[in-house]
């Protein structure tokens, strides 16, 4: 949308900001703009402004604004409402750190989701940051599904395809797709090699007993057994002769490490029934790798040299480096970011998303209450909006909370111009007499009004705020004097078609049913103009009094999903 500017010489940022907030102040307080409120906004958004120099400029702007007609102020207000208000002072665009180590080496990176649920905003953060680096430096971006848990984090059917759709929508180019469950045999060979070289062992200790010893920095008896005996137990594990829970394979690490979680971490364990895993090739395996084992081997063999991930993986890096040191592999360059603890009022945690879906019986993972990428897409957010918000977060190590306004202000810019329509939640019929024959072109529709008595539908709450005897303007249409307002109807007298500064209200001559699925999962039921049916499914429109919505479907009524104010 083109920016609104004041005509004349010497236009600058002070005038631009002052004009916007003079309009806002005047409209919201239904009176004259106040210099104190406008100066405050100018100073907040342009902190380097010298107040003494700004006051005469702001006064001039306010004087012009206060002379405008009410209708002009209202039109300007809604234009600014759509294009967005500055919520804070303009920040310099954040840039990601340079990869100074990358000289002759080709950048190879990966996204490694666990396909147990839809991609959410927290997942998208490292994926988009990595994509920015690939776009800048070139290289290879691998999508690798970490799906080596056949018991608890069992991959869901169809999720891999959904992830690929999300990557495509986010405009992230993937060069190769891998699945860890196709590589089980390779992981087990590495485990056997480590056992044979006495770098790993089979541990039969009960977890509580082993944990007690490891906290004290002491080795268990299993650790001291020779390689021949360890290999014998390993063969029994692989053939299914030992049962689930009887033992695990552990990597030998430093038992005096200050971080006890890195001491002799587990490499592999027995799974009696792997048939729940969707990859049927894996059903023959009785031993499955840990996340840290599979990830380490794949990162090395795929030649991954750059990783971005959350700070919760810092301990995993310490564990994996023991394995890398044993094989004299070079560990990838890593960067870490903080945790996103809140995204508006949307649910971010994968486990909480599943809980809500089970509790509420949700069949769709694009419900507006969920912070899934599918939900953002369904609500009408642009992929550029998601990317911009994530780039603003960057690699900040601190926890972050993101309000819906962060998305809304960016989304308005990427959406550009959208059509405005009325939305009347509770209608009241109004009869207008002495109507003069004429045409209106309101809400993208042309109406020919020929009869001397006309009936329209207005919003009951809106008309109740109008006094009997008051002149009002039916938005983009005509002017009426209100003569009677009751619980079951209202009456008025036609004045003219010409534009005036009267208070405006939305109205309908004919209407269709509209439903809006709001951010809290509840539905608003109302009416709008029939020509909204000409909008395509997927289009984003603006409902007066509601905000931006995306047309979801038009099977029965027009069904929309709320995006943002």
Question: How big is the chain by its Cα radius of gyration, in Å?
Answer: 32
How far are the Cα atoms of 48, 118, 151, 181, 281 from residue 277, in angstroms, in the given order? 60, 18, 8, 9, 9
Q: What is the pLDDT of residue 361?
A: 79
**What percent of the chain stands above pLDDT 90?**
75
- Please tell me the distance from the alpha carbon of residue 310 to that of residue 291, in angstroms, as a whole number: 15
Confidence at 156, pLDDT banded by 50, 70, 90: very high
With contact defined as beta carbons under 8 Å apart, do 119 and 366 qualify?
no
Residue 93 pLDDT exceeds 70: no
Residue 301 pLDDT exceeds 90: yes
Q: What is the pLDDT of residue 86?
A: 64
Task: Tell me the per-residue pLDDT of 451-477, one tens digit each, with 9 for 90 and over.
Answer: 999 999 999 999 999 999 999 999 999
Of the listed ranges 123-127, 173-177, 285-289, 500-504, the least confidently predicted one is 500-504
Handedness of CA 225, 229, 232, 233 (dihedral sign): negative
Residue 53 pLDDT exceeds 90: no
With contact defined as beta carbons under 8 Å apart, do 69 and 76 qualify?
no
Task: Tell me the per-residue pLDDT of 525-543, one tens digit each, with 9 for 90 and over.
Answer: 999 999 999 999 999 999 9
With contact defined as beta carbons under 8 Å apart, do 427 and 508 qualify?
yes
Task: Tell me the per-residue pLDDT of 36-51, one tens digit each, with 9 for 90 and over.
Answer: 888 888 877 877 777 7
How far are the Cα atoms of 43, 190, 397, 504, 548 from residue 421, in angstroms, in the given order? 35, 64, 43, 14, 10
Q: If you write DSSP's letter for every residue of 264-309 in order, what string do you get?
A: T-EEEEE-S--TTSS-GGGGG-SEEE-HHHHHHHHHHHTT--EEEE
Q: What is the pLDDT of residue 95?
A: 81
Average pLDDT over residues 91-103: 80
The residue among 65, 16, 63, 23 whose CA lies nearest residue 42 is 16
The residue among 247, 259, 258 whose CA lies nearest residue 223 is 247
Residue 363 pLDDT exceeds 80: no
- Please tell me the distance from the alpha carbon of residue 438 to that of residue 424, in angstroms, as a whole number: 24
Handedness of CA 35, 41, 42, 43 (dihedral sign): positive
Residue 98 pLDDT exceeds 80: yes
Q: What is the pLDDT of residue 360?
A: 79
Average pLDDT over residues 119-140: 96
- Please tell me the distance from the alpha carbon of residue 91 to that of residue 21, in angstroms, as a whole number: 19
Q: What is the pLDDT of residue 220?
A: 94
Q: What is the pLDDT of residue 90?
A: 45
The residue among 420, 478, 564, 529 whose CA lies nearest residue 75 is 420
- Which residue matches tokens 């006309």? 454
Q: What is the pLDDT of residue 85?
A: 67
User: CA 464 from chain center: how many Å?
Assistant: 38
- Please tell me the distance from the alpha carbon of residue 136 to that of residue 427, in angstroms, as a whole number: 55
Q: What is the pLDDT of residue 208?
A: 94
Residue 483 pLDDT exceeds 70: yes
Q: What is the pLDDT of residue 364?
A: 84
- Please tell me the distance from the alpha carbon of residue 276 to that of residue 256, in angstroms, as a whole number: 39
Beta strands in 252-301 (DSSP E): 266-270, 287-289
Q: Which residues neighbour 335 within 8 Å (Cβ) at sequence distance 6 or greater?
A: 97, 307, 308, 395
Of the listed ranges 3-12, 55-64, 146-155, the least confidently predicted one is 3-12
- Which residue matches tokens 């993986």? 313
Q: What is the pLDDT of residue 450?
A: 94
HEC assignment per residue over 424-493: ECCEEEEEEECCCCEEECCCCCCEEECCCCEEEEEEHHHHHCCCCCCEEEECCCEEEEEEEECCCCEEEE
Residue 2 pLDDT exceeds 80: no
Task: Tell me the per-residue pLDDT of 68-89, one tens digit each, with 9 for 90 and over.
Answer: 888 788 888 877 876 676 654 4
With contact defined as beta carbons under 8 Å apart, do 85 and 415 qualify?
no
Phi and psi at 401, nearest 5°, equal -115, 135
Q: Which residues neighbour 331 within 8 Å (Cβ) at sequence distance 6 or greater?
A: 317, 320, 321, 324
Q: What is the pLDDT of residue 1?
A: 30
Beta bridge partners of 424: 527
Q: What is the pLDDT of residue 32?
A: 85
Q: Does 307 or 21 have the greater pLDDT score? A: 307
Locate 316 and state its tokens. 């995993």
Average pLDDT over residues 165-169: 98
Of the listed ranges 26-30, 239-243, 310-314, 545-549, the least confidently predicted one is 26-30
Task: Tell me the per-residue pLDDT of 215-272, one tens digit each, with 9 for 90 and over.
Answer: 999 999 999 999 999 999 999 999 999 999 999 999 999 999 999 999 999 999 999 9
With contact defined as beta carbons under 8 Å apart, do 233 and 242 qualify?
yes
Question: Which helix H or strand E contains 561, and what residues bound it?
Answer: strand 558-564
Q: What is the pLDDT of residue 467?
A: 95
Per-chain mean pLDDT for the chain: 91
- Which residue matches tokens 């945790």? 339
- Please tell me the distance from the alpha carbon of residue 278 to that of residue 449, in angstroms, as a whole number: 64
Residue 320 pLDDT exceeds 70: yes
């Amino acid at each position: 949308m083109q920016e609104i500017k004041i005509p004349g010489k010497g236009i600058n940022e002070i005038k631009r900001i002052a004009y916007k907030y003079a309009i806002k102040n005047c409209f919201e307080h239904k009176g004259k703009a106040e210099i104190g409120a406008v100066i405050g906004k100018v100073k907040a958004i342009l902190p380097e402004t010298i107040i003494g120099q700004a006051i005469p400029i702001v006064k001039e702007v306010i004087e012009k604004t206060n002379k405008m007609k009410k209708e002009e102020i209202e039109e300007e207000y809604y234009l600014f409402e759509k294009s967005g208000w500055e919520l804070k002072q303009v920040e310099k665009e954040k840039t990601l750190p340079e990869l100074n180590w990358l000289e002759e080496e080709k950048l190879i990176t990966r996204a490694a989701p666990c396909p147990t649920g839809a991609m959410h905003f927290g997942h998208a953060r490292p994926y988009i940051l990595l994509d920015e680096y690939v776009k800048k430096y070139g290289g290879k971006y691998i999508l690798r599904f970490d799906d080596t848990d056949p018991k608890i984090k069992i991959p869901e059917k169809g999720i891999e395809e959904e992830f690929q759709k999300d990557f495509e929508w986010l405009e992230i180019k993937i060069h190769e797709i891998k699945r860890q469950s196709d590589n089980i045999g390779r992981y087990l060979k590495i485990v056997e090699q480590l056992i044979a070289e006495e770098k790993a062992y089979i541990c039969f200790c009960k977890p509580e007993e082993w944990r007690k010893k490891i906290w004290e920095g002491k080795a268990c008896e299993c650790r001291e057994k020779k390689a021949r005996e360890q290999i014998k137990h390993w063969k029994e594990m692989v053939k299914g002769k030992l049962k689930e829970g009887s033992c695990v394979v552990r990597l030998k690490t430093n038992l005096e490490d200050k971080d006890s979680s890195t001491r002799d971490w587990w490499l592999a364990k027995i799974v009696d029934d792997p048939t729940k895993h969707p990859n049927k090739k894996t059903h023959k395996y009785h031993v499955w790798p840990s996340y840290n084992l599979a990830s380490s081997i794949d990162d090395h063999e795929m030649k991954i040299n750059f990783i971005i991930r959350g700070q919760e993986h810092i301990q995993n890096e310490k564990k994996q480096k023991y394995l890398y040191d044993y094989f004299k592999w070079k560990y990838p360059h890593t960067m870490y970011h903080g945790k996103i603890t809140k995204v508006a009022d949307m649910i971010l945690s994968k486990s909480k998303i599943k809980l809500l879906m089970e509790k509420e019986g949700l069949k769709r993972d694009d419900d507006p209450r969920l912070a899934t990428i599918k939900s953002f897409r369904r609500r009408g957010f642009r992929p550029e909006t998601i990317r911009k918000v994530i780039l603003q977060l960057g690699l900040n190590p601190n926890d972050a909370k993101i309000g819906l306004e962060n998305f809304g202000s960016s989304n308005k810019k990427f959406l550009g111009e959208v059509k405005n329509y009325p939305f009347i939640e509770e209608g009241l019929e109004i009869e207008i007499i002495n109507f003069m024959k004429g045409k209106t072109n309101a809400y993208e529709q042309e109406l020919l009004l020929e009869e001397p008595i006309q009936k329209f539908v207005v919003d009951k709450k809106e008309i109740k705020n109008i006094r009997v005897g008051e002149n009002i303007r039916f938005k983009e249409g005509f002017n009426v004097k209100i003569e009677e307002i009751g619980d079951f109807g209202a009456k008025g007298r036609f004045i003219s078609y010409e534009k005036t500064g009267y208070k405006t209200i939305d109205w309908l001559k004919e209407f269709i049913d509209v439903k809006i699925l709001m951010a809290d999962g509840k539905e608003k039921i109302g009416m709008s103009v029939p020509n909204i049916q000409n909008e395509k499914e997927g289009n984003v429109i603006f409902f007066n009094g509601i905000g931006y919505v995306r047309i979801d479907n038009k099977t029965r009524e027009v069904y929309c999903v709320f995006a943002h104010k």
